Structure 1
Amino acid sequence: MSDEAAAPAPSNPFASLGASGATGFAAGGFNFGAPVAPAFGAAPKPADEEGGDDDGGDAAPEEECQAEFKPVVQLEEVETKSGEEDEDALVELKCKLYRFDGDNNEWKERGLGLIKLLQHKANKKVRLLMRQEKTLKIRANHIVMPGTKLQEHSGSDKAWVWSTVDFSEGEQRIELFAVRFGSVEKAQEFKKKFEEAMDINAPLLGDVAALPKADETAGGAAADKAAEELAKEVEGKATTKDE
């Protein structure tokens, strides 16, 4: 008696999928959840599609601040005045100014700058004004008095000496000034304009004798004549120092 031939086992149609060298899903490299490379030449996806369902999305543009801020204190522009706005310059020359220090018996430098003869537009009087350059500090300020004598300083044809009642320090004071120019021409131009200023002021100032005298304003200081004599004595031996 022979055994009945065993019935063939039913075949599994999916068994070949896991076999080595199979051409199923594993062989094709397909993997669920992995990104699929786009086909060559395909158009790229828009940015919104690539972003998927991200919550970020396109952020709204920031608004510009339109607020205006003003200073707490409003400062108004202040016009600075030199005091020369109502005057016309008859002459302006660069010079170096000195004053005589009677206490130390020597000349001291007042500064380098412009010396001017200024005529007032209304009353027509002429004054002398000298400001130190850069600082603009007033170093000489006085009315050009009729009868003032300009003398050569130590025989120099570039410098002049004169005595006057000066107001550059805020109060009247007898001063003996010396001014030196860079050339003879400028020195002569100053002398000419100075003498013209004296002629202009003569009828405007009236009686010169009625004006304050040197000894009255300086409390016993030397008058013009004494100042001239003093200048002659010291001009030859005076030294120049910075004040």
Structure 2
Amino acid sequence: MAENGKGEEAKASSPSPVFGSASTFGAGTGFGGFKGVSTATSSRQAEKPEDDTPPEEGSGETEEECQAEFRPIVQLEEVERVSGEEGEETLADFKSKLYRFDNDSGEWKERGIGQVRLLKSNDTGKIRLLMRQEKTLKIRANHFVMPGTKLQEHSGSEKAWVYSTVDFADEEQKPELFCFRFSSIERAQEFKKHFEDAMAHNDKALAADEEQGESPGDESTEAAKEKHAVEKSEADELAGKVGEVKVSEEDDKSSQA
């Protein structure tokens, strides 16, 4: 009985194979029966790097270049844009908000926001003022900087200049009372300086034209001068009303933005 008890204890202490008996997979271990790629062979293959060498020329493995041509559906021709300013030199450039005085209603009307520039003609040497509306580039002010023009501060603001002139923005000459408002007092003073320099320059240019004599059909004929003088006097009468009107607070805030 004792021997049987020891024999049972010995059998209990030796666990049975997890994957079956040794005779099923081969002698020794439970994995001995697996045959195929040896461990040494698989390790050598794992260590062997892949061949990244590009294919040699003429091997037939090179990628072919795409020879396809893609043409646009719509062919657009280049169009030359003519602004009328090609023969002029820009002497000064300021961003400003422009108002014009409406004589019928007795109020200032906003005319536009954009760049106001002083342009000198390469042919005549005279200077004009041109302002275009931003984005649309529509002309809002276009006139010769006439000598003797009086710049007046708008009542209650040092950033705005008021003056009368004969304007050609609507492709016809007519007297206008303009108010240019700038972003700061410094910009307003800089505009005044350039404007007064342009008046002095044009005064000399007109005097030189008179010395050389008047040519037929030129704007400097006596009839043209008389017409300009009448229109200028009407504009000066409008300028006398500058103290009677004010730019609205809403327009004033939007111009400072």
Report whether the alignment pairs 1:225 with 2:239.
no
CA distance in 2, matches of 1:96, 1:72: 43
Q: Does 1:186 align with 2:198?
A: no
Aligned to 1:176: 177
The offset of 1:225, in angstroms, is: 2.3
Deviating above 6 A after TM superposition, structure 1's stretches of 4 or more consecutive aligned residues are none
Backbone CA RMSD of aligned residues: 3.8
Structure with greater strand percent: 1
In 1, distance between residues paired with 2:180 and 2:25? 112
Q: Is the 8 A contact 1:141 1:166 kept in 2?
A: yes
Q: Distance in 1 between matches of 2:237 and 2:89?
A: 34
Question: How does the TM-score come out when normalised to structure 1?
Answer: 0.61
Per-residue deviation at 1:137? Answer: 3.2
Partner of 2:236, secondary structure, is helix
**Corresponding residue pairs, total:** 194
Of 189, 199, 202, 2:203 maps to 199
Question: What residue number does 1:50 align with?
Answer: none
Retained in 1: the 8 A contact 2:100–2:111?
yes
For residues 211 and 75 of structure 1, the distance between their equivalents in structure 2, rounded to whole angstroms, comes to 48
Contact 1:118 1:128 survives alignment (8 Å): yes
Residue 94 of structure 1 and its aligned partner are, at CA, apart by 3.5
CA distance in 1, matches of 2:193, 2:224: 30
Unaligned runs of 5+ in 2: 1-22, 27-33, 46-60, 210-218, 252-257
Q: Which residue of 2 aligns with 1:106?
A: 107
Q: Which has the larger radius of gyration?
A: 1
The one-character-per-residue Cα deviations of 1:60-82 (angstroms, maximum 9, x if unpaired) are: 89866421121244323444444
CA distance in structure 2 between the aligned counterparts of 1:191 and 1:121, rounded to whole angstroms: 18
> How far, CA to CA, are the matches of 1:175 and 1:81 in structure 2?
27
- Mapping for residues 21-40 of structure 1, pairs under 5 Å: 37-40=36-39
Q: Tell me the distance in 2 between the aligned counterparts of 1:157 and 1:79.
A: 42
Is the partner of 1:41 in helix, strand or coil? helix
Conserved 8 A contact 2:118-2:129: yes
CA-CA distance at 1:92 after TM superposition: 2.5
Map of 1:55 onto structure 2:
none
Q: How has the CA–CA distance of structure 1 residues 125 and 191 changed in structure 2, closer, same or farther, with 3 Å as cutoff?
A: closer
- Alignment match of 2:244 (pick from 197, 215, 237): 237
**What amino acid does structure 2 have at the position aligned with 1:230?**
L
Name the residue aligned to 2:29.
Answer: none
More helix by share: 2
Summarize deviations over 1:128-185 as a string: whole Å, max 9, x none: 1122344443210112234544444448665433333322233333322122343263
Aligned mates of 2:146, 2:25 — CA distance in 1 = 122
Partner of 1:90: 91
Contact 1:115-1:129 at 8 Å conserved across structures: yes
Distance 1:178 1:158 in 2: 10
Conservation of the 8 A alpha-carbon contact between 2:147 and 2:200: no
Superposed counterparts of 1:8-19, under 5 Å: none
Structure 2 counterpart of 1:115, which letter?
A: V
Question: Partners of 1:171 and 1:230 in 2: how far apart?
Answer: 19
Counterpart of 2:68?
67
TM-score (normalised: structure 2): 0.58
Q: Distance in 1 between matches of 2:148 and 2:179?
A: 17
Distance in 2 (CA, whole Å) between partners of 1:62 and 1:91 is 59
Q: Which runs of 5+ in 1 are unaligned?
A: 1-22, 29-34, 47-59, 216-221
